Structure 1
Amino acid sequence: MEFSTSFLLRQEWRDPRLTYDDFNSSIVISEKRLNSLWVPDLYFPNSKRESRHEITIPNVLIRLSPDGTILYSQRLSMTLECTMDLINFPMDKQTCNIDMESYSYTSSDLYYEFTTERSAVESRPGVQIPDFQITDITVGKCQNKYVTGSYTCLRTDVSIKREIGFYATQTYIPSILIVVLSWASFWIDHEAVPARISVGLLTVLTITTQSSGARAQLPRVPNVKAIDVWMLACLAFVFAAYTEYAVVTVLTRRHKKVLKQDDSIYKISKGPSQNEAKNAQGKQEVRSSDYAKDAGILVDNISKYGFPISFIIFNIVYWVYYLHLA
């Protein structure tokens, strides 16, 4: 919720008391004579920390022209507030502003304007921010009213777009692989209990740890962010794949119980010895039919294709919404 910047602040005004006609050339005044001049009491209302560069000498330029025009330039670094809307994080776009206004002079006494002789704001060529891309820089005016009066205000809006590359490699791709890994249990024989439980439990714990790590890097805001929706969906898919085996186990045990009861009935009602071969063949056909009707195996077969298709549909909806609609 803040950003840091370093810039050159140039202010220009005309003081008739400082006019001279001894020679037709501007002069540079020492920074030590600053207290002898009238300067605007400009301040930054949304700043948190400020510093002025003083190595190797104070980075200040004071140039006086014959008509009394003063150019006052200084290099400043500061950290300013930036209220961010993180609903679409990490596909979000933010606008951070730099406000400048007078501290003691009301708008009737002192009025600020951006210069029209040249570009009001210029960014250094090739400037980059590690996590963002600067999309636009605009300037405008604002008016702030306080108990002491109304004050003129200048505002610079810096529009930035978050780069998703870091989050794609650190969050999205690993979570996709974890979800895909959870589907491996559908291809493992349902009789292999340790293998299927291990795969399901491992993926659930891994996706939970990854979700906690992603949330730890963000401020605590009440809004549900895009990355929260993603991690919750991945957790739901992984957890559903884990509980799917519990459903398969229950259905398979119920099926085996039915087969066992059918086998007991068959032994009690078994016919004469000359019909044993015929009855055995009938029994084999019945068991094959019952095996095909095993609901647990059917659930596994449906899950092999149902889970990937559902995850692909979720991905299409998620990326279309947050990249283009949100």
Structure 2
Amino acid sequence: MDGGKLGCWVFALAIALMVQTSLSQTETTTGPTNTTSTGGNGGGQGSGQGGSCVGGASDTADWGAWLRWRSGEILYAMNYTNATRPGDPNNRWIDVSVGVRLSNIGSLSESSMQFEMSIDLFLSWFDDRLAGMSSHMTPVPGRHLWNPVYAMGEKVDPLCSDEGCLTQSDDQISTWLCPDGNVHHIAKQDVKITCAMNLRFYPLDKQECTFEIHGYDSMRFVLNPSFQWVVPGVPVVTDATSIHSQFEVTQVDFQAKYNSFLSSVHHCSYHKGSYGYVTDACTKQCENYGGSKLSGAEDPCDDTNKGSPNTYTTLAITMYMKRRLSYYMMEIYVPSITIVCLSWVAFWINRAAVPARVALGITTVLTMITQSTRVVDMPQISYVRAIDAWLLACQCMVFGALLEYAIVNYYDRKHKPKTAAAAPTHPVKVVRLPNPPSEKGVINGSGEKGSMNGHTKPAEPPKKPKNPEDEGIAAIIDKAARILFPLSYIGFNIFYWVYYSVADQHH
């Protein structure tokens, strides 16, 4: 009995030594390995949605093996070619798991209607020919492997179109091979996106920008990323810390659909979703912000000829952005409100102070005109924007204040008495008579008393009283303006803000 147990132990030890020797030889021939966590399981072999890679807690990559992968020596020895697509050539589609990360979102220019952004694509697919070539997750030059064929849509332009920018060096590792044959690839591209803007509500506007990524050569987008993906179940994330724009992203929608080179064939969506963003309130994982799910659904999409060679797949991403109003409040709205209120000061200045009231009115009008020129350059459009309506109303208010004083001054001067006729050039001399000392003066030739010392006293012209009715109209206009102008401006503000808020939401 003891001899049997001893034999079993010897047999088990021999098996363990054989397994260890086999693993050591495999690791030596497969090249450098990377033990970084993949962030989740991307599916089994043949699923095209990635796969878990076996690895330890440390990086055991071998430089010599990496050089053999870099030269393609290992792949050539296995008769591998990147010109042939993996899997059964009779299958119409090759499922490619995709995740999109948006970052470095720049300012959206109103004149060019473009903004810059960086797009990171996380792609995973299954290549049965590579299964068993590595024991761990191994970095591999992507140029030696078959890669999905994809292209940006017509609204997306690369910032750098030189061949040197588009070609990635082998030293920049971006492709990894797993033991089960799953391949993971990360591609980054800086682009400029064209966005057709509607500026009717500027600067209270919300813009909607859509860009597309097309998959060719039987590539089908599967929105289920796993490799290096930190937000499970969310195929599109945004770096909330790198938004350098006057807009804030409020919502991101995505849609995977079958498309066709024939314009008569209607596209069919097979996966769509929507996520709401509150980037200003982000407190954790802000570099990979996924938002809160609003909706999401998968559709088998059987109403199109998915087997036709004219069919390809498209991933459309729509960004909803809302303009930040703080800059325009401090630069446009608050200064213009101050100028309008300053023009009302003239209603409390004395009507006789013509220079003061005229100078104040002209100054506010010119200042308001200058304020109107501070709006940024815009394309030539044929409709009125919200900022145009605001500035026009403010200009009308300050010009109306100046016109009000013109009317008041007219009524104030309308019946003002003219200057009396000049006194006679030859005053009448007072004749000295031997009057008693008690007499204060004598009667001159005109019947008026004169002074005793021979001086004359000019005749005073008769005063014509002002028309109290005209003087009352001028005062009434001033008093009415003190109430009507502020009330009308307050009413305009209520209408302006309510209308554009409701109309923008409806739009």
* Residue in structure 2 matched with residue 197 of structure 1 by the alignment: 358
Map 1:137-216 onto structure 2 (within 5 A).
137-142=252-257, 145-146=260-261, 149-214=310-375, 216=376
* Residue in structure 2 matched with residue 40 of structure 1 by the alignment: 149
Q: Is the 8 A contact 2:412 2:470 kept in 1?
A: no
Higher Rg: 2
| 3-state SS of 1:112 partner | strand
| 3-state SS of 2:132 partner | coil
* Residue in structure 2 matched with residue 93 of structure 1 by the alignment: 206
Q: Is the 8 A contact 2:132 2:181 kept in 1?
A: no
| 3-state SS of 1:246 partner | helix
Q: Is the 8 A contact 1:143 1:150 kept in 2?
A: yes
| 3-state SS of 1:213 partner | coil
Q: Is the 8 A contact 1:27 1:65 kept in 2?
A: yes
- Which shows bigger deviation, 19-28 or 5-14? 19-28
* Residue in structure 2 matched with residue 279 of structure 1 by the alignment: none
1:6 pairs with 2:6:
no
Higher RCO (C-alpha 8 Å, min separation 6): 1
Equivalents in 2 of 1:42, 1:114: separation in Å? Answer: 17
* Residue in structure 2 matched with residue 246 of structure 1 by the alignment: 406
The 3 A distance-change label for structure 1 pair 183 and 143 is: farther
Q: Is the 8 A contact 1:60 1:75 kept in 2?
A: no
Query: Once the two structures are superposed, what CA deviation does each residue of 1:95-153 show, in whole Å capped at 9, x if it has no partner?
Result: 22231114x64xxx333332266320122254433412221222113565546955421
Q: Is the 8 A contact 1:59 1:74 kept in 2?
A: no
Equivalents in 2 of 1:250, 1:295: separation in Å? Answer: 10
- Offset at residue 57 of structure 1 (A): 8.1
Q: Is the 8 A contact 1:90 1:162 kept in 2?
A: yes
1:319 pairs with 2:497:
yes
Tell me which of 382, 388, 393 is aligned to 1:233.
393
1:20 pairs with 2:181:
no
The 3 A distance-change label for structure 1 pair 56 and 172 is: farther
The 3 A distance-change label for structure 1 pair 309 and 65 is: same
Equivalents in 1 of 2:154, 2:386: separation in Å? Answer: 31
Q: Is the 8 A contact 2:131 2:182 kept in 1?
A: no
Q: Is the 8 A contact 2:122 2:225 kept in 1?
A: no
- Output the TM-score relative to the length of structure 2: 0.53
| 3-state SS of 2:214 partner | strand
Q: Is the 8 A contact 1:49 1:79 kept in 2?
A: yes
Equivalents in 2 of 1:58, 1:245: separation in Å? Answer: 77
The 3 A distance-change label for structure 1 pair 150 and 247 is: farther
Q: Is the 8 A contact 1:15 1:69 kept in 2?
A: yes
* Residue in structure 1 matched with residue 223 of structure 2 by the alignment: 114
- Which shows bigger deviation, 309-318 or 45-54? 45-54
- Offset at residue 300 of structure 1 (A): 1.1
- Offset at residue 314 of structure 1 (A): 0.7
* Residue in structure 1 matched with residue 158 of structure 2 by the alignment: 49
Equivalents in 1 of 2:397, 2:335: separation in Å? Answer: 14
Equivalents in 2 of 1:254, 1:142: separation in Å? Answer: 78
Query: How many residues of Structure 1 are paired with residues of Structure 2 in the alignment?
Result: 296
1:294 pairs with 2:472:
yes
- Offset at residue 155 of structure 1 (A): 1.1
Q: Is the 8 A contact 2:415 2:466 kept in 1?
A: no
| 3-state SS of 2:184 partner | strand
Q: Is the 8 A contact 2:148 2:219 kept in 1?
A: no
Structure 2: stretches of 5+ with no match in the other structure: 1-112, 227-232, 264-309, 422-461
The 3 A distance-change label for structure 1 pair 240 and 58 is: farther
Equivalents in 1 of 2:199, 2:179: separation in Å? Answer: 52
Pairwise CA RMSD of aligned residues?
3.1
| 3-state SS of 2:210 partner | strand
| 3-state SS of 1:309 partner | helix
Tell me which of 304, 308, 314 is aligned to 2:486.
308
The 3 A distance-change label for structure 1 pair 47 and 23 is: closer
Equivalents in 2 of 1:59, 1:119: separation in Å? Answer: 27
Query: Once the two structures are superposed, what CA deviation does each residue of 1:43-93 show, in whole Å capped at 9, x if it has no partner?
Result: 232113334599998755111233432212022211101111111111111
* Residue in structure 1 matched with residue 194 of structure 2 by the alignment: 81
Q: Determine what percentage of the aligned residue pairs are the same residue.
A: 29
The 3 A distance-change label for structure 1 pair 201 and 288 is: closer
